[in-house]
Structure 1
Amino acid sequence: MYIFSVALVFCHPTARTDSLTNEPNNSSDNSPTLELSPDSNFNFNLVIALGNALTGGADIGPVLGVAKNLMPGDFDSYSEEWYKLANMTKAQAEDPANAFDSVNVRDTWFSASHYFRRADENIHKDWDDPLINTLWEEQTAAFDKAIATLPKPGQRIQLPATSERGNLNFTVEAIWYEAQESKDNHKRPTLIIGNGFDAAQEDSYHYFVAPALARGWNCITYEGPGQPTVLRNQNLGFIPDWESALIPVVDYLFTEKEDVVDTERLVLIGNSFGGYLAARAAAFEPRLSAAILIGGVWDAYPAFAEHLPEEIVALYEAGNFSAFDETVRAFRASDEMATSAAFGLDHGLWAFRTHSPSEFFTQSKEYHIRDVVDQINMPVFVGDAEFETFFRGQPQIVSDALGDRATLHVFNGTAGYHCQSGANQELTRTIHAWLHRVLPEREDEEVEEVVAEN
Structure 2
Amino acid sequence: MRSSTPIAHCFAALVLSGLATGATNETSDYPPTYQLGNNTAFNSEFIVALQNSLSGGADIGPVLGAVKNIKPGDFDSYHKEFYKLANATKAQAEDPENNYDPINVRDSWFSASQYYRRADVYIHRNWSEPLIKTVWDEQTAAFDNAIAALPIPGRRVQIPSPEGNLTVEAIWYSASEDPYAKLPTMIVGNGFDAAQEDSYHYYCAAALARGWNCITYEGPGQNTVRRTQDLGFIHNWEVVATPVVDYVLSAKKQVVDERRLVLAGNSMGGYLAARAAAFEPRLSAVILVGGLWDLYAGYTSQLPADLLSIYEAGNYTTFDEQVLSLRDVGPEDIGTEAIWGLDYGLWAFKTHSPSEFFNLTKLYRIQDVVHQIQMPVFVGDAEFENIFSGQAQKVKDALGEKSTFHQFKGVAGYHCQSGAQQELARTIFAWLNKTLEIELPYS
Contact 2:17 2:334 in 1 (8 A): no
Equivalenced residue count is: 431
Which residue is equivalent to 1:231?
Answer: 226
SS at structure 1 position matched to 2:10: coil
1:6–1:358 Cα change, 3 Å: farther
Shift of 1:63: 1.0
1:20–1:79 Cα change, 3 Å: farther
Which residue is equivalent to 1:124?
Answer: 124
SS at structure 2 position matched to 1:105: helix
Shift of 1:192: 0.2
Choose the corresponding residue for 1:259, options 232, 254, 258: 254
Shift of 1:162: 3.3
Q: 1:330-367: per-residue Cα shift (whole Å, max 9, x none)?
A: 11112133111111111110011100000011001111
CA distance in 2, matches of 1:10, 1:346: 11
Shift of 1:93: 0.4
SS at structure 2 position matched to 1:190: strand
Please identify runs of 4+ aligned residues in structure 1 that moved more than 2 A: 5-13, 15-21, 27-30, 441-444
Choose the corresponding residue for 2:382, options 375, 381, 385: 385
Which residue is equivalent to 2:106?
Answer: 106
CA distance in 1, matches of 2:417, 2:9: 16
SS at structure 2 position matched to 1:229: helix
CA distance in 2, matches of 1:29, 1:402: 31
Deviates more, 1:330-339 or 1:261-270: 330-339
Which residue is equivalent to 2:156?
Answer: 156
Choose the corresponding residue for 2:327, options 303, 321, 332: 332
Which residue is equivalent to 2:421?
Answer: 424
CA distance in 2, matches of 1:28, 1:171: 47
Q: 1:21-62: per-residue Cα shift (whole Å, max 9, x none)?
A: 9xxxxx997300000121111100101111100000000011
Choose the corresponding residue for 1:374, options 371, 374, 392: 371
Alignment of 1:75-94 (within 5 A): 75-94=75-94
CA distance in 2, matches of 1:142, 1:6: 30
Which residue is equivalent to 1:71?
Answer: 71
CA distance in 1, matches of 2:260, 2:207: 13
**Which letter maps to 2:165?**
N
SS at structure 2 position matched to 1:97: coil
**Which letter maps to 1:178?**
S
Counterpart check, 1:213 vs 2:208: yes
1:16–1:56 Cα change, 3 Å: farther
Contact 2:160 2:167 in 1 (8 A): yes
Contact 2:49 2:63 in 1 (8 A): yes
**Which letter maps to 2:279?**
F
Consecutive unaligned residues of structure 1, counting only runs of 5 or more, are 22-26, 448-454
Shift of 1:390: 2.2
Which residue is equivalent to 1:36?
Answer: 36
Counterpart check, 1:169 vs 2:179: no
Choose the corresponding residue for 2:407, options 387, 405, 410: 410
**Which letter maps to 1:297?**
L
Shift of 1:443: 9.9
**Which letter maps to 2:377?**
V
Contact 1:174 1:221 in 2 (8 A): yes
**Which letter maps to 1:74?**
D
Contact 1:12 1:418 in 2 (8 A): no
Consecutive unaligned residues of structure 2, counting only runs of 5 or more, are 21-26
Contact 1:8 1:390 in 2 (8 A): no
TM-score by length of 2: 0.93
Shift of 1:11: 8.5
Q: CA RMSD in A?
A: 2.3
Deviates more, 1:290-299 or 1:434-443: 434-443
**Which letter maps to 1:342?**
I
Counterpart check, 1:300 vs 2:285: no
1:357–1:148 Cα change, 3 Å: same
**Which letter maps to 1:432?**
F
Shift of 1:20: 5.1
1:200–1:289 Cα change, 3 Å: same
CA distance in 1, matches of 2:418, 2:439: 33
CA distance in 1, matches of 2:344, 2:42: 15
Contact 2:295 2:361 in 1 (8 A): yes
Which residue is equivalent to 1:58?
Answer: 58
Which residue is equivalent to 2:286?
Answer: 291
Contact 2:7 2:385 in 1 (8 A): no
Shift of 1:69: 1.1
SS at structure 2 position matched to 1:133: helix
Which residue is equivalent to 1:179?
Answer: 175
Counterpart check, 1:310 vs 2:320: no
**Which letter maps to 1:427?**
L
Counterpart check, 1:400 vs 2:397: yes
Counterpart check, 1:270 vs 2:265: yes
Contact 1:283 1:377 in 2 (8 A): yes
Contact 1:7 1:345 in 2 (8 A): no
